[in-house]
């Protein structure tokens, strides 16, 4: 661009600085570079927008939105030609690079050109190089956030493994306790207070404002009196006891307390995933960072386990979750075994029939007094076999299949179901090692001759 072409041009500038950015990315420094750039090219900056302390992971920033709503897309705004941004990372650290390009293209559609000051105006014969440079800049901006997020996450995991808090507010009935460099208690932290020295640590402790006793009462009402979460909420409301936010109790709020292991003194981290402004999702328990006996609890592990047992029998949703998990596991197992058989040359109809005839009973694992239990139900056609395959599923995992059992049909002794626990002898005699599952399943299908010749691998979990 020549000097004469830029003489009468005007621009709007945008600056951004987040709390995690280095000082050289401050708004004042960006502003100085941008204004000097504009002066060099005889371009007048008629308006400036700045987001202080705002993450660039999304477009949900006050000044960024105002830039588009009141200037770029507003036909009544004063005329201007350019949007000046110090560099690509100031525009945003979008994890989807197409999102960054979308907002830049929106400017183009409205007759405004985004110019990154650190790159300058591209020459006419270097448009392709400039575009490539911008794309690389978007990737590097996103990658910086990913790497930083990873470092923060691993740091939080390390702190949690040591039994300390990695951030966040304590649940109802608990308080944050500041520990000194010697890991001895210093004081209870109020809301808005944080540690001031990096070597200090924060843990939880039962609150001293009476709420810890209320939590104990909740567990007592459930375990000793079999009160439902809704009944407990009604009782608390009748007593005039408010929630943390001063509102009335609801059954879901009570249920959250009655199912939270933190009340046993267990530190849990990574229950959910939601980094980099991405959609939150629940993590399977296998990915949780769990540290028992990390701090003083409000209830014992025995009381907590008893509460979970009561909830299983009191709440239909617990049964429904188990029913859903069983159906999901059955569909998954049947599909996998059918696919494996057809991949070895078996006709789809034969494979489908073979899988459907499998004497396979699936049951959700549940606990009684902290001990794992299983209930398996057989259908009439299964009684023609000497053994059935019992498949245990867990409702707290993405892959629900937990373990396999080889159960003699005589165990049912004239009934359609059997219940046993880890304490029973039949648990130890019926449990199938992972290497045995394939052999046992194949032995249940003797009528299909080619089946015994197939090298079938069936996923198993001990």
pLDDT digits (tens, 9 = 90+) for 88-97: 888 888 877 7
pLDDT for 80 equals 95
Residue 289 or residue 37, greater confidence: 37
Rounded to 10 degrees, the C-alpha dihedral 415/417/422/423 comes to -30
Q: In percent, how much of the chain has pLDDT > 70?
A: 76
Q: Please name which of 15, 16, 67, 13 lies closest in space to residue 39, comparing C-alpha atoms.
A: 13
Confidence of residue 210 (pLDDT cuts 50, 70, 90): very high
Backbone angles phi, psi at 318, to 5 degrees: -65, -45
State the distance between the two ends of the chain, measured CA to CA, in whole angstroms.
Answer: 69
CATH superfamily of 3-147: Resolvase, N-terminal catalytic domain (3.40.50.1390)
Residue recorded with tokens 């045995």: 436
Rounded Cα–Cα distance for residues 86 and 89 (Å): 8
Give Cβ neighbours of residue 74 (< 8 Å, ≥ 6 apart). none
Confidence of residue 143 (pLDDT cuts 50, 70, 90): low
- Residue 274 CA: distances (Å) to CA of 13, 88, 280, 281: 32, 24, 4, 7
- Residue 361 CA: distances (Å) to CA of 97, 404, 409, 458: 48, 10, 11, 16
Domain boundaries, the chain: 3-147, 174-313, 318-453
Are 16 and 24 in contact, with CB atoms under 8 Å apart? no
Region 190-201 average pLDDT: 67
Would you tell me which CATH number, out of the four given (3.30.465.10, 3.90.1750.20, 3.30.56.10, 3.30.70.980), belongs to the domain 174-313? 3.90.1750.20
| H helices, E strands: number in the chain | 14, 17
pLDDT for 454 equals 44
Rounded Cα–Cα distance for residues 308 and 259 (Å): 7
Are 193 and 181 in contact, with CB atoms under 8 Å apart? no
Are 12 and 67 in contact, with CB atoms under 8 Å apart? yes
Check whether 462 has a pLDDT greater than 60.
no
Element (H, E) at 319: helix 316-343
Burial class (CB in 10 A: 0-12, 13-18, 19+), 239: exposed
DSSP string, 94-156: -SSHHHHHHHHHHHHHTT-EEEETTT-PPPGGGHHHHHHHHHHHHHHHHHHHHHHHHHHHHHH
Confidence of residue 1 (pLDDT cuts 50, 70, 90): very low
Check whether 331 has a pLDDT greater than 80.
yes
List 83's β-bridge partners, or say none. Answer: 12, 114
Region 154-165 average pLDDT: 64
Residue 214 or residue 195, greater confidence: 214
pLDDT in tens, 169-184: 788 999 888 877 777 8
Q: Which of 67-81, 218-232, 348-362, 436-450 has the lowest mean pLDDT?
A: 436-450
Confidence of residue 418 (pLDDT cuts 50, 70, 90): confident
pLDDT for 453 equals 46
Residue 39 or residue 422, greater confidence: 39
Check whether 130 has a pLDDT greater than 80.
no
Check whether 302 has a pLDDT greater than 80.
yes
Confidence of residue 356 (pLDDT cuts 50, 70, 90): confident
């Amino acid at each position: 661009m020549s000097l004469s072409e830029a003489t009468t041009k005007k621009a709007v500038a945008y600056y951004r600085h987040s709390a995690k950015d280095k000082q050289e990315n401050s708004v004042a420094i960006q502003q100085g570079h941008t204004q000097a750039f504009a002066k060099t090219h005889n371009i007048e900056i008629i308006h400036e927008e700045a987001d202080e302390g705002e993450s660039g992971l999304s477009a949900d920033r006050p000044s960024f939105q105002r830039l588009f709503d009141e200037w770029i897309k507003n036909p009544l705004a004063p005329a201007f030609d350019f949007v000046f941004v110090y560099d690509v990372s100031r525009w945003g650290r979008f994890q989807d690079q197409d999102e960054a390009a979308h907002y830049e293209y929106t400017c183009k559609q409205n007759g405004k050109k985004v110019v990154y000051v650190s790159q300058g105006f591209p020459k006419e014969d270097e448009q392709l190089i400039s575009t490539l440079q911008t794309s690389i800049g978007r990737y590097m901006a996103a990658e910086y956030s990913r790497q930083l997020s990873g470092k923060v996450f691993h740091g939080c995991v390390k702190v949690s493994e040591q039994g300390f808090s990695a951030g966040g507010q304590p649940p109802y009935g608990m308080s944050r306790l500041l520990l000194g460099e010697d890991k001895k208690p210093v004081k209870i932290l109020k809301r808005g207070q944080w540690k001031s020295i990096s070597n200090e640590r924060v843990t939880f402790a039962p609150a001293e404002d009476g709420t810890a006793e209320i939590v104990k009462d909740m567990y007592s009402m459930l375990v000793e009196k079999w009160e439902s979460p809704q009944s407990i909420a009604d009782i608390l409301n009748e007593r005039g006891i408010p929630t943390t936010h001063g509102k009335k109790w609801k059954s879901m709020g009570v249920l959250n307390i009655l199912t939270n292991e933190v009340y046993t003194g267990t530190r849990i981290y990574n229950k959910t995933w939601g980094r980099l402004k991405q959609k939150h999702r629940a993590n399977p328990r296998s990915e949780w960072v769990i540290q028992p006996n990390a701090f003083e609890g409000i209830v014992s592990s025995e009381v907590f386990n008893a509460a979970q047992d009561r909830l299983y029998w009191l709440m239909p949703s617990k049964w429904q979750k188990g029913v859903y998990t069983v159906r999901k596991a059955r569909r998954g197992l049947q599909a996998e075994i059918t696919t494996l058989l057809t991949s070895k040359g078996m006709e789809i109809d034969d494979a489908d029939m073979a899988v459907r005839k499998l004497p396979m009973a699936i049951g959700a694992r549940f606990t009684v007094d902290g001990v794992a239990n299983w209930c398996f139900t057989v259908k009439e056609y299964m009684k023609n076999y000497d053994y059935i395959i019992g498949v245990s599923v867990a409702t707290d995992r993405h892959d629900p299949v937990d373990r396999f059992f080889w159960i003699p049909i005589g165990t049912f002794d004239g009934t359609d179901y059997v219940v046993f626990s880890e304490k029973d002898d039949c648990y130890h005699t019926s449990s199938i090692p992972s290497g045995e599952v394939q052999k046992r399943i194949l032995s249940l299908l003797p009528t299909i001759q080619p089946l015994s010749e197939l090298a079938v691998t069936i996923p198993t979990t001990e």
